[in-house]
Amino acid sequence: MMGGDSIAAAYVSYNLGINMRLIYNFPSPSKLQVALLKKEGSSSIDVGIDDIGSLKSDTCDLYSSKPCGTSSKPVFENNDKYPVTSKCLKVDSNTYATSKSVIPCDGCPWNSNSVPMLCSFSRCNKVMCEVESKMKNICHTTWSIEFPRNKSGFMRELWKVHMESCVDASAIVVFKDWDIYLLIGSHSHKFVCVNAKSGFIRWGIELEGRIECSAAILDDFSQVVVGCYSGIIYFLDFSNGNICWTFQTRGEVKSQPVIDKRRNLVWCGSHDHYLYALNYRNHCCVYKLPCGGSIFGSPAIDEARDILYVASTSGRVTAISLKVQPFCTLWLHELNVPVFGSLSVSSNGNVICCLVDGHVLAFDSSGSIVWKGKTGGPIFAGACISHALPSQALICSRNGSVYSFELEGGDLLWECSVGDPITAAAYVDENLKLVSDSSLSSDRLVCICASSGSIHLLKISWDTTGRVHRPTEFARLELQGEIFSSPVMIGGRIFVGCRDDYVHCIAVEAQSSLSN
């Protein structure tokens, strides 16, 4: 913060006789002191936030006034002048050990201080960049690792943050200000911003209700948007967690907000059966739509055609034209089967809708059903569509299987069982390739989290004709709680919430040589 550089850090670490990496991971005197004291008698670094707070001699009032008459309060920040009052967070000591077994290589964001642009990553491979033209660049930036096709990898936990209650929300990972951040909430009402590299909390706030809603970030990356069970949609300052403004609905907000930057709107559904369009520049609601049932999944916007799609637990799917205001309904379907999963729009303009009875439907922009598919069990998450797996929609089912449907015609390309029910969505690591000397093609990893608490990495391969092989299991890890949070996976790092009351950062590893 004072302008120090790597030379200054090297000088400090030399004088203290410690690894320079600790200077970066514990960037204040009090945090470094606690870490060194803890490390002397333990093989892991278990930093108690209360312990850090006890080292401070001065205090200040962290309670701040909040717009709209509500009373949420900041509960912890990383600035030394603030007392910190959350539970402890645990950071595995292996985070600070250099190992060639860790898949991300030199030049990737986990081993570099340079972040090329402002961008965010959230569940189902949703990526947003500040500059839309650079979206393709960040999505197609990959790091390769040479790895024999007949061998498996493994996973290791790097850090975990204690959230004081179940973490069913999914993380959003943000690249900003030359660093990488993770934002997530839990049923304890706590919402935190965490350094995604180290696992240390940057700031946190306690909202008025339980948080199951996954957050979104505005197009200028200045504010984070998240809802809670009290029906409030919060707009929080990204830099410190302060409340900028709020909007009150009449039901729980579990749907992840969607940013409509062309119109300066945030679209968010509520369990009060309404979809709301909130203008984040003028701080007002400009439109609301009755949807016939609670809105659990996120709506989806077809930017090319200016159409928004939304589905509800009554089974109603609605298409709204966004070309001019007031917005108008283009068409709706009453499917009479609940829709819990978020909707997804493919590159050809079809919207993929997953029903709780196991059916998968693809609508075109006019509302016609293009194709129908069927899984072997209920579906509670949306389809995952990634450029790394061209023309595929990955859908997870409670029967324990992952299905790949061909986007154009709905043909079933493959099915793979992980052995346990799946409630969360899949995620494809678009920034990592596995390269084999014996093949000209590269393999991709797909992260699947079963409700039982097991994390599965599936390896997807192609032959020389472009035909996709049935996935094989590359690695597996068991967490100590159920998982309903959908994972986010970037360059060999997995971020996922768990009902063990922690949000976890998992590293994919392999004993192999790395190439950039």
pLDDT, tens only, 72-94? 556 554 433 332 333 334 443 33
CB atoms within 10 A of CB 189: 20
- Any bridge partners for residue 3, and if so which? none
For residue 52, the model assigns a pLDDT of: 29
Cis, peptide link before residue 148, omega less than 30° from 0: no
For residue 434, the model assigns a pLDDT of: 84
Instruction: Tell me how far apart the terminal alpha carbons of the chain are, to the nearest angstrom.
Output: 31
For residue 114, the model assigns a pLDDT of: 52
For residue 64, the model assigns a pLDDT of: 28
Mean pLDDT, range 18-33, rounded to an integer:
78
Location of structure tokens 């909390």? 201
pLDDT, one tens digit per residue, over 363-393 is: 999 999 999 999 999 999 999 999 999 899 9
Of the two residues 514 and 350, the one the predictor is more confident about is 350
469/474 Cα distance (integer angstroms): 14
For residue 93, the model assigns a pLDDT of: 33
Average pLDDT, the chain: 83
User: Are 248 and 293 contacting, i.e. CB atoms less than 8 angstroms apart?
Assistant: no
H or E element in which residue 269 lies: strand 265-269
Location of structure tokens 């079933």? 412
Closest CA to 391 of 376, 369, 413: 413
Mean pLDDT, range 241-250, rounded to an integer:
98
**Which domains, from first to last, does the chain contain?**
117-123+144-510 (2.130.10.10)
User: Are 508 and 448 contacting, i.e. CB atoms less than 8 angstroms apart?
Assistant: no
pLDDT, one tens digit per residue, over 471-487 is: 999 999 999 999 999 99
